[in-house]
Amino acid sequence: MIKDITIGQFFPGDSILHRLDARMKLVLTFAVIVIVFVCKSFFSMGLMVAFVLFLVAVSRVPVKTILKSLKPIVFIVIFTAVLNIFYTTGGWSVQIWIFKITEKGLFTALFMAVRIICLIIVSSLLTYTTTPTRLTDALERLLSPLKIFKIEVHTIAMMMTLALRFIPTLIEEIDRIMSAQKARGADWESGSLVSRSKALIPVLIPLFVSSFRRAYELAFAMECRCYRGGKGRTRMKIMKLELRDFAALLAAAALLAGIILLNIFFKSVI
């Protein structure tokens, strides 16, 4: 039923990853993704992969779910790998029919594939262990220093929260409008592309009209509760860094150190 839609991929749980401060998670996810591209040797890449697997285990998100997040990118991975095989040259080579496959090409392709997969898993873990609400909150707090450049951080965050709040409601509404127009014979399944696009008008117009009205009423309701923008606002939920957040930071730093060391002491493969 449409009502069961949950936004994002949040997988409820109580693991340490779930309990980390959302700001730290956001920053560390970004950092780890950068670190993924720092790996140059087999050993450093090996450490990276071990780290990612460690994160997956700690998150207690089922492996099946993680694999689901990789499904959409299988094609991209293969495509990138193939491209790299044929367009990167160096080291020994092998001739198969009209294709020339080089050592460097093979390794680059492999590294690219592993990098993309690590990247996807790490960012998925972020959304699996953090609710969209917490993410928006974290983003707002992290970006708040931008206020000095006159960027309306609070307003942007408020818009994001409202969007998250209303997406399920709007989906329900679209469903309702579509059913009502279907009951009058609207048809989106047969006919030319043009006629099917035209058949969207009876859905889009009522949706827009009701959305404007909704926004108008919402604005009033917010003002009636003394909303005046971000000025003078406090927050009920305070984000505080705990010991475990510093531990995570340390772990990421150790990862970076380890990878750099492994890069130095072992042959760079790509």
Partner 1 sequence: MPVISTRSLTYLYSKGTPFEVAAIKDINIDIDSGELVGIIGHTGSGKSTLIQHLNGILKPEQGTVLLEGKDIWESKASIREARFKVGLCFQYPEYQLFEETVYKDIAFGPKNMKLDEDEIDRRVHRAAEFVGLKEEHLQKSPFDLSGGEKRRAAIAGVMAMEPKVLILDEPTAGLDPHGRDRILRLIKEYRSNTGSTVLFVSHSMEDIADLVSKVLVLENSRVAMFGTVEEVYSKREELLKMGLNVPQVTRIFAGLRERGLHINTNIFTVEQGRQELLRFFGKGADL
Partner 2 sequence: MDENIISFKNVSFTYESEEKTHIPAVKDITLNIRKGEFVAVLGHNGSGKSTLAKLTNAILIPEKGTVLINGLDTSDENLVYDIRRTVGMVFQNPDNQIVATIVEDDVAFGPENLGVPPAEIRRKVDEALKEVEMYEYRLREPHKLSGGQKQRVAIAGILAMETACMVLDEPTAMLDPRGRVEVMKTVMRLNKEKGITVLYITHFMDEAVEADRVLVMDNGDIILDGSPRQVFSQVELIKSVGLDVPQASELCYLLRKDGVDLPIDVLNVEECIEALMKVAKG
Distance in angstroms (rounded) separating the CA atoms of residues 58 and 121: 13
Helix-helix angle 63-70:103-129, to 10 degrees: 120
186 binds, among partner 1, partner 2, none (CB under 5 to 8 A by kind): partner 1
Query: What phi and psi, each to the nearest 5 degrees, are found at residue 140?
Result: -60, -45
> Residue 240 interacts with partner 2 (CB under 8 A)?
no
Nearest Cα neighbor of 132 from 27, 267, 4, 9 is 9
| Residue of 64, 71, 150, 184 that binds partner 1 (CB under 8 A) | 184
Interaction pattern, residues 60-99, with partner 2; x per rule: CB under 8 A: ----------------------------------------
Give yes or no for residue 183 binding partner 1 (CB under 8 A). yes
Q: How far is the CB of 167 from partner 1 (least distance, A)?
A: 18
CA distances, 240 to each of 9, 31, 97, 118, 246 (Å): 24, 20, 61, 29, 11
Count Cα neighbours of 117 within 13 Å in the Cβ-side half-sphere: 22
Interacting residues with partner 2 between 109 and 168 (CB under 8 A): 131-133, 161-162, 164-165, 168
96 binds, among partner 1, partner 2, none (CB under 5 to 8 A by kind): none
Least Å distance, CB 223 to partner 2, is: 8
Q: Angle at which helices 22-36 and 103-129 pack, to 10 degrees?
A: 170
Residues of this chain, 192-231, that bind partner 2 according to CB under 8 A: 214, 217-218, 220-228
Cα-Cα end-to-end distance for the chain: 50
In angstroms, what CA-CA distances link 269 with 45, 79, 105? 10, 21, 10
For tokens 């050592």, the residue is 103
Of the candidates 92, 235, 243, 267, which one interacts with partner 2 according to CB under 8 A? Answer: 235
Q: Residue from 16, 34, 63, 205 that binds partner 1 (CB under 8 A)?
A: 205
8 lines the binding site for partner 2 (CB under 8 A) = no
Residues 26-55, interacting with partner 2 (CB under 8 A): none
Q: How many residues bind partner 2 (CB under 8 A)?
A: 31
* Whole-angstrom distance, CA of residue 106 vs CA of residue 101: 7
Q: In the complex, what is the shortest distance from the CB of residue 152 to partner 2, in angstroms, rounded to a whole number?
A: 17
Kind plus residue range of the DSSP H or E element containing 93: strand 93-96
**Could you tell me how many helices (H) and strands (E) the chain has, helices first?**
11, 2
Residues that bind partner 1 (CB under 8 A): 1, 4, 176-177, 179-187, 201-202, 205-206, 209-210
Residues that bind partner 2 (CB under 8 A): 3, 6, 131-133, 161-162, 164-165, 168-169, 172, 214, 217-218, 220-228, 232-238
